[in-house]
């Protein structure tokens, strides 16, 4: 039986497609082939003859390496530097936190002292200025008299 499968390995005719539509060639698994039995029926059978392997799938084209842009290189180099700087700053702030709290209390006390001193200085300066200018300010008095509704007014001005 050349080109035919061994009869003991043939599938029953019902499974071969007598009542079913034929299978397409790509649906047939490897090692199985369609054979024609001596009765003339077509059947699927396990073959003892080597079959041609299915065509190998087409491999996708290998990707071509693209050069890395300069901005990506500089960003990649700056990222750890910036991150490290932030980490060091955080460690420094956590170490300095108690001192910073004390400094803030000292600064608020200094602001309060300056504000109080400024208010006192403004009050003292205002009083001293009032006394100095009151002594130096000219004092003017006027006496005006008039006789009648349409009479002529006369007066005197005194400077001290």
Question: Using CA atoms, how far apart are residues 96 and 78, in angstroms rounded to an integer?
Answer: 27
Residues 116-157 pLDDT 10s: 999 999 999 999 988 887 767 777 788 888 888 888 888 887
CA distances from 57 to 53, 54, 61 (A): 11, 9, 12
Query: Burial level of 35, CB count in 10 A (0-12/13-18/19+)?
Result: buried
| Number of C-beta neighbours around residue 49 at 10 A | 9
- Average confidence score pLDDT of the chain: 79
Geometric angle at alpha carbon 120, from 115 and 126, rounded to 5°? 125
Strands 140-146 and 42-46: unpaired
Residues 15-45 pLDDT 10s: 444 455 567 777 777 778 788 888 988 888 8
Query: Burial level of 45, CB count in 10 A (0-12/13-18/19+)?
Result: buried
Query: Which pTM does this prediction carry?
Result: 0.29
The structure tokens 């956590």 sit at 94
């Amino acid at each position: 039986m050349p080109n035919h499968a061994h009869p003991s390995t043939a599938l029953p005719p019902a499974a071969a497609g007598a009542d079913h539509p034929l299978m397409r060639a790509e649906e047939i698994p490897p090692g199985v082939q369609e054979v024609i039995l001596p009765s003339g029926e077509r059947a699927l059978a396990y073959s003892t003859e080597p079959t041609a392997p299915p065509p190998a799938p087409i491999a996708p084209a290998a990707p071509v390496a693209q050069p890395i842009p300069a901005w990506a290189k500089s960003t990649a180099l700056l990222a750890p530097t910036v991150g490290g700087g932030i980490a060091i700053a955080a460690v420094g702030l956590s170490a300095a936190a108690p001192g910073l709290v004390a400094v803030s209390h000292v600064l608020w006390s200094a602001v309060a002292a300056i504000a109080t001193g400024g208010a006192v200085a403004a009050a003292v300066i205002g009083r001293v200025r009032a006394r100095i200018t009151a002594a130096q300010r000219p004092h003017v008095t006027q006496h005006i008299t008039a006789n009648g509704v349409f009479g002529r007014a006369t007066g005197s001005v005194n400077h001290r």
